Structures are given as structure tokens and as C-alpha cells.
Amino acid sequence: MRAGSEVLVTERGRPVAKIVPVDTAGDLAELEREGIVRPGSIDLPPEILDVEPPRMAGPGLTQALLDERSEGR
């Protein structure tokens, strides 16, 4: 994504969204002025980044998705 490529999101083979890089190479303030981004509305405590994300027990998300696909869901 950082290299400028687009990502097409599909659902059952049908396109539902496209993620594209921002065209403007300016700084954050410029992107805000243009309405491309907006600042966050809350301050998060810095220690939030120190928390270990929860781990899923069992086969994992990838396996669950593969199972759904093989079942035609």
C-alpha cells in the first residue's frame, strides 16, 4: 500500500470497495484543509500501545475464513 498500489475489496468475487493511496503528497495540515483527513476527537493514553492484543484460541481467523469458503458461505 505504501508503494502506491490500490487494493480492491471483494465479497464473493464482487467488488465492494477500493482502497487507494491519497493523491496529495502534502503534510497532515494540508490534508486536513482539503478535507481528506480529519483529526481525532479524543486523546488516547500513550500506554495503550503497550497492551498485548488478545489472541484467538483455536485454529485462527485464517482457518475460519478458509473453512467458510470451502463450505460456500
Give 17-54 pLDDT, tens digit per residue: 998 887 655 677 888 888 888 888 888 888 888 888 77
Q: Specify the pLDDT at position 36.
A: 82
Compare 59 and 27 and report the one with higher pLDDT.
Answer: 27
Cα→Cα distances 18→7, 21, 42, 60, Å: 6, 10, 28, 26
Model confidence at 12: pLDDT above 80: yes
C-alpha cell at 60: 485462527
C-alpha cell at 6: 490500490
Domain ranges of the chain: 1-38
Q: Specify the pLDDT at position 9.
A: 93
**Mean pLDDT, to the nearest integer, of 51-71?**
81
7-11 and 14-19 strand pairing: antiparallel
